[in-house]
Every structure is written in C-alpha cells, then in structure tokens.
Structure 1
Amino acid sequence: MTTPQPRWGLTYPLDGVPLAEQRRLVESLPDLGFTDVWSTETAGADAFTPLALASVWAPALRLGTAIVPVHTRGPALIAMQAAAMAEAAPGRFALGLGASSPVIVEHWNSLTHDRPYQRCRDTLGFLREALTGQAVTQEYETFEIDRFRLERVPDQNPALLLGALRPGMLRLAAREADGVILNWLGADDVPTALAEFHGAGGEGKEVVARVFVCPTEDISYARKLGRRLIAGYLTVPAYAQYQRWLGRGEALKPMWDAWSCGDRRQAASAVPDEVVDALVLHGSPERCREELSRYAAHGVTTVVPALLPTPGDPAAALPAAVAAVAPAA
C-alpha cells in the first residue's frame, strides 16, 4: 500500500516583514509545494485576520488556526469567526482550538484559565451544534448558552482540531475532534503522542505538527536562539509536564531549577544541545527538509514548519528560508 503524501504547511504570518508586504510570498507558496498555511495567536497577529488575507492571495491553499484559545473568546464568537472563514474559503478552512496558557489567558487577557480540559471539551461540543445552524440552549460544565443561532451557516463546516500535549487532551482530540495539533516535540516523540491518540480512536484522523526550524548552518546561532525559545516556553507548567512525559525530565531539570530561582540567563544556558537539536531543527535546506520528513514518516499527516529568524536582514533572508522548509522535490 502506498503511503499518502503528507500535507505541507507553513506557520504564517512570517516574522520580520509587515503583513501587507507578505502577499507575494504567500502567492508563491503553492508553486513551492506548500498546501497549507497555519496561523498562531500569542501576542502578534490574531489567528483569523492573516488567514482572511491568504484566502484571497492564494486560493489554492488550505487555511488553519494553530491555535485559537478557547478562553479568550466567547463560544458564540468562535463559532461566528469560524463560520465566516469557512464561508470565505469553502472547504479550505480548519479550526484548531486549544487551551493556551495562563500567561496568555490571565496575564495578558485578564480572564481566568479555568478547567482547560473541560473548556476545550465543551467548546468542541458547542461548535458541533452551532455550526449546523440549529438553535443552541444548553448548560455545559464551563459555560451556558441561551438561544444562540448562527445566522450565516457555511455550506461546508470547518474541520475541528484540538491542540494537545499530554494523554488526556490527546484522547479528547481522538474522541471529540477531527484531528490533533502537536507542538514542541521531536520527530522521535511522535509515536509516543500517537499511541495515545490512535489508541483512543484517532486512527485515520488528521495529525498536524508544528515544528520550529532555523534554516542556517551557523550552529552556534541556531542553538543560542533555540535555548532562549525553549527556556521561554518549556518552563510553563503544562509544557514542563509534557516534556517530563516525553522523557526529558532529567535533561531539562537544570533549566527548570535555574528558572525557578529567577536566573533566566542560566536557565537558557542549561538547555542541553541534544534537546535543542531535537526540538528546533537547523542546518542546510537539505537537512531541514530531511528532518521535517521524519515527522511524516512517524505518522504526521500535515507537517507545518514554523520559521525562526536566521542571521542577517529578515526581509532579504525570508524567501530563501521559506524555500529551505518547502517539501522535498
């Protein structure tokens, strides 16, 4: 049996260039072999606006969010935004949802990051009903909906995917979503995550993996950047537990110890090379593509590189960096 070719996305919008100036680059993506663009939502662009632009700039691309936090919008607003994107790009939009983090939800949005597992489950359940256009009146565990009916119902509903780290969320994605979005894992970690996902009924569903890539052969630069990124992300409690589950507890303990003492510089310095190399791909274009392809070989159906800045002027380096993470010919 022939293994299907993976979809190949790109995390978008790209850093270092104003959004309005990324049109030509987005237009070029299908010719480079990209099938998708996937947005993020932290403290830059929101998850939907860049995709609305891309839907016009490159009508062949599929559009996905990775991810929309379930706490920072009301359930009805998520349904409305998802329906609008699905109407604007029929059959080409996938809604990725997730729990996000206390920093984004509480510190930046002044909301409560309460019961993330239950909130994700309830939001998926609500969207399944709301996107059909039927009136929804229901008391969920984490919110209550009273007589909401979506006024603009898309002809084709978006696929619903769930960002998941540890077993509980992976199993929830398998049961309640159309697929799962993985993040912050190496290619060799994929079987661990998929054992939980497939074991709970996720076999045959979409598996998206966002992978950080710094396409430069300047190893010192890439590892220094990777250490800062890892120290900033993987000290968040949920991500720390995730890495312990993946077996990196001993390797990352010095980083966590330094971070807990308030020594951010020492925390970054304590990240071992082998952890950086597993979680932040770097090297020649050929090596980056080879390493990205290993995710697909382990069961990822949609590979989504997230480009990190390379040395030099971001605008000048961007086309070459995008080409470096395009699918292998």
Structure 2
Amino acid sequence: MKRHGVTIPLNSVPLSGHRRIIEELPDLGYTDAWTGEAAGYDGFTPLALAAAWAPSLRVGTAVVPVQTRGPALLAMTVATLAEAAPGRVAVGVGSSGPPFVTRINGIPFEHPYRHVRDTVRFLKAALAGKSVQGVFDSFTIEDYRPALRPDPVPPVLIGALRPQMLRLAAREADGLVTNFLAVEDVRPVLEAMGPEGAGKEVVARLFVCPTADTAYARARGRAMLGPILNARTYSAFHGWLGRDEELAASRRAWARGDFRGACEAVPDALVDALLVHGKPGECREQVARYVDAGVTTPLLAVLPVPEFGAGPDGMLSALRALAPAD
C-alpha cells in the first residue's frame, strides 16, 4: 500500500478547526496523519481526534521523546489509542534534546541512545502483552503487567539521524522516522541502517511551501532552517552528511548571537534542497523523488502561503492542491 501522510496539527489552524480538514483527507488520497512533540501540542491528543474523525486514517507519532514519560505510561497511552483505532496506530520515539527534556521538563538529559534502546525494548514487549521486569541500562522496572493488549500490536519506530541510532532503528525497531533531509540524503541514511533495515518503514517529514514565489519560499525556509541547522542534533546530522563548509557562515553568526544573520547565511541551494517548494504540481514531483529514493511514508508539513491563505480554508485548499496523484 502506498502511503502519503500529513503532519498534524496543521500550521495556522487551531485544533478546534481541524475536523472538516481531517475528514476530507482520505478522499484526497492521504492515508496517514502523524504528530511531533516539542513545546506546543502533545503528541497524542491530535491523533485521538484524527482517528475518530477519519476512521480509515493511520495515525502515528513522529516522534515523542522517551524521557518525558515513564515507559509504562507511554505503553499505556499507545495501547489506549490502539484499542480505539485497532490496526491504525504506530508509535515513533526518539531522544529529543535538552531544550525539551531538561529546560522545560526539569528532567536530566542523560544517555539518550540507551534510553531510546531500552524504551523500544520495553514497548515491544509491553504492547505485545508481555510482563516486563528487570534492570535496563537507563531505568529499572519492578513489575509491569499490561492490562491492555492491542491487536494487532502497533509498530514501534525510532526517530534517528546518525549512524548509531540509524543502526538501532534497523536492528530493534519496525522502522525509521527522519526529517530535515534532502532527497540525496536518503541514500546515505538508508545505507547507514545496514542490511537489517531492508523492508523497514521509512517515515520522513517533508516541509512543503506550495508557492511559485521563490523569494517568499526561501525567506520562509531560512527563517525555519536557521535555528534548526544550528541546533546540536541537526548540526551534527548535516555535518555527518558533509555540509560543514556549506553551513560554516551560518554557524559563525549563530555562535556570536547573530541569529538573523545565521538564518540569512543558509545558502539558497540548501534551502531548495531541504524545503519542498514551487507550484503544487512541482511539489508533488519533489515528494515523489523522496519516495523513489526509499521513503515509504512521506509526511507533508505544509506552510501557509499567500496563494492559499491562512486558516482552515487556506490549509484545506493547499492540501487539495498537493493531494497525491491517482
């Protein structure tokens, strides 16, 4: 089955205005709706609403942090959603980072790789209905006996960017979640997963700015990408991909506190590579290239543009224009 998803909540649309948009997604050819989780919406409430509003959509998290919920609470939340939407739930987990784990939740950001690995192992067992006890590297479980046993068992995916976590996704999870990558980056990412990644789901969030106004798209792209590409995790990711020289000017500006300059220093070519933009038909062609490269589940994160306008009507019009071809 070919999958084509959207990221929710949708830009410029309050959650109360999502229903009529979500209800129309399946008719437009969209199969999935996935959330992220940082400092805004939580990762599960929008999915519960989407699962109820559009009973054919698959819903998933891309991704929720492993350190901001206990393992049992995370398993309980996923199992609850899976009971409400059997066979239509996937859970993606990741390490997140200090801004979200420590600065706003007061939780030490320690041993991210171990915590992701241990949480995946816990979830795989608990969601399959197995009791879990024992000492993991990053936490100890005395005795968790799941009261809910979802059927079928939801797949567990890992949000990963660099080789160690990519290999973990291939070895112990049901797939990979990634984002902020160019089409040409898909190949090295899949190669880093190794042979164990063959046949695994590859979910990629693709930021889409459906406008023929290149200057507008690049301005929106720079404003979004400047902080992201200078964040610890994504700076290291793009360094691994060979972009240290390309990002050197932006990094220097960021280091001296010139945040506007850091955004302006992101090269046009990199903005064009990381942001899908152009007329809707051109955007669809760019998304198709990601699929051809190995992405199995593209998730569109649509930015508001003047051609369609803001708010629910504008977002719905944009999603209609970007809908996958038959």
Deviates more, 1:227-236 or 1:281-290: 227-236
2:134 matched residue in structure 1: 138
1:65-144 to structure 2, matched below 5 A, reads 65-144=61-140
1:199-238 to structure 2, matched below 5 A, reads 199-238=194-233
Instruction: Give a deviation string over 1:126-158, Cα, whole Å, max 9, x none.
Output: 112212323211100000001111112212211
What residue identity is the alignment partner of 1:253? A
What residue identity is the alignment partner of 1:320? S
Is the contact made by 1:6 and 1:300 (CA closer than 8 Å) also made in structure 2?
A: no
Matched, 1:317 2:314: yes
Is the contact made by 1:305 and 1:325 (CA closer than 8 Å) also made in structure 2?
A: no
What residue identity is the alignment partner of 1:196? A
Is the contact made by 1:175 and 1:200 (CA closer than 8 Å) also made in structure 2?
A: no
What residue identity is the alignment partner of 2:139? F
Structure 2: gaps (5+ residues): none
SS of equivalent to 2:238? helix
Deviates more, 1:61-70 or 1:213-222: 213-222
Instruction: Give a deviation string over 1:69-113, Cα, whole Å, max 9, x none.
Output: 001111111100010111111011000111112111111211111
2:11 matched residue in structure 1: 15
Please tell me the root mean square deviation across aligned C-alpha atoms, in Å: 1.1
Distance in structure 2 (CA, Å) of the matches to 1:98 and 1:230: 20
Distance in structure 1 (CA, Å) of the matches to 2:237 and 2:127: 32
Which of 9, 25, 28 in structure 1 is aligned with 2:21? 25
Matched, 1:271 2:266: yes
Is the contact made by 2:304 and 2:310 (CA closer than 8 Å) also made in structure 1?
A: no
Which of 294, 299, 310 in structure 2 is aligned with 1:299? 294
What residue identity is the alignment partner of 1:42? A
TM-score (norm 2): 0.97
Distance in structure 2 (CA, Å) of the matches to 1:85 and 1:246: 36
Distance in structure 2 (CA, Å) of the matches to 1:244 and 1:181: 19
Is the contact made by 2:71 and 2:119 (CA closer than 8 Å) also made in structure 1?
A: yes
Is the contact made by 1:289 and 1:324 (CA closer than 8 Å) also made in structure 2?
A: no
Matched, 1:280 2:248: no
Instruction: Give a deviation string over 1:271-308, Cα, whole Å, max 9, x none.
Output: 00000000011110001000000000001111111111
Distance in structure 2 (CA, Å) of the matches to 1:281 and 1:132: 38
Distance in structure 2 (CA, Å) of the matches to 1:80 and 1:310: 39
1:308 matched residue in structure 2: 303
The alpha-carbon deviation at position 321 of structure 1 amounts to 1.4
SS of equivalent to 1:95? strand
Report sequence identity in percent: 52
Matched, 1:6 2:2: yes
What residue identity is the alignment partner of 1:295? Y
TM-score (norm 1): 0.96
The alpha-carbon deviation at position 200 of structure 1 amounts to 4.3
Distance in structure 2 (CA, Å) of the matches to 1:223 and 1:66: 25
What residue identity is the alignment partner of 1:315? P
SS of equivalent to 1:67? strand
Is the contact made by 1:137 and 1:146 (CA closer than 8 Å) also made in structure 2?
A: yes
1:250 matched residue in structure 2: 245
Instruction: Give a deviation string over 1:172-231, Cα, whole Å, max 9, x none.
Output: 00000000011110111101101112x140101111111111111121111111111111
1:138-177 to structure 2, matched below 5 A, reads 138-177=134-173
Is the contact made by 1:288 and 1:324 (CA closer than 8 Å) also made in structure 2?
A: no
**Following TM superposition, where does structure 1 have runs of at least 4 consecutive aligned residues deviating by more than 2 angstroms?**
132-135, 311-316
SS of equivalent to 1:50? helix
The size of the alignment, in residue pairs, is 324
Is the contact made by 2:115 and 2:138 (CA closer than 8 Å) also made in structure 1?
A: yes
